[in-house]
Amino acid sequence: MIDIVASGVLFDMDGTLVDSTAVVEAAWTGFGQRHDLDPQTILAFSHGRQTIDTVRHFLPDLDEAEQHRIVDEMIAAEVDNVDGILEVPGAAAFVSRLVDAGVPVALVTSAPRDLAVNRMRAAGVHVPEALVASEDVDHGKPHPDGYLRGAAMLGVDPAECAAFEDAPAGLEAAIASGATTVVVGALEADVTAGLYRVAGYDGITVEAEGSAFRIRG
């Protein structure tokens, strides 16, 4: 159950609005096989983080140019691969309700812009004009840069925003930004203690409340 009064809403993408599990798992499984690394260990670390941060973590001895070459190769393979991309239940309708109600909305993702736009469109979810992608920040999640930038693009104080996230790194980033943070999905971790939680977006209502909005469901 959630009952939040906010002036803006910030969304992560993968796992929060878009179910890209099949594509993401295939990409990191291939990476693990090529570099003799356990895919499950990679997936546990990578969720919510920029690709470059994961490559640096698992291949720290490679020079920077080679790390970026690997990242570019992985992203190029993923950008147009939208097979199996779905919305998280109710996400498209909820984002539309927010937009129709006049709520300022931003997407804050660890994915590159082109990949993010393609996945959102494939899932049928509205792409907000305010979009913070991996190339827009100096520090990826769990650093709060992305959420701070997203709130600034909306012209809203981060403390007056609600942020929806599903991964530990993203939740840490959202909390550090000062936003009221909502866990999407079933993640149980130290970082989720005391946070609002939703399994999906069906039944969540949006109503104007003064100059802000009440999000409840």
Residues across the chain: 217
Q: What are the residues whose beta carbons fall under 8 Å from the beta carbon of 18, sequence distance 6 or more?
A: 85, 86, 87, 88, 91, 119, 120, 122, 123, 125
Collapse the DSSP code of 110 into the 3-class scheme (helix H, G, I; strand E, B; otherwise coil) and give the result.
coil
Choose among 85, 91, 58, 77: nearest CA to 199: 91
Interaxial angle between packed helices 168-177 and 145-154, expressed in degrees from 0 to 180 and rounded to the nearest 10: 50
The sign of the dihedral angle between the CA atoms of 14, 6, 201, 118 is negative
Catalytic residue selected from 3, 12, 72, 190: 12
Decide if 14 is catalytic: yes
Catalytic residue selected from 14, 19, 145, 166: 14
Decide if 166 is catalytic: no
Q: For residue 158, say if its preceding peptide bond is cis, omega within 30 degrees of 0.
A: no
Choose among 115, 36, 46, 106: nearest CA to 82: 115
CA 30 to CA 47: how far, in whole Å? 16
Give the active site residues. 12, 14
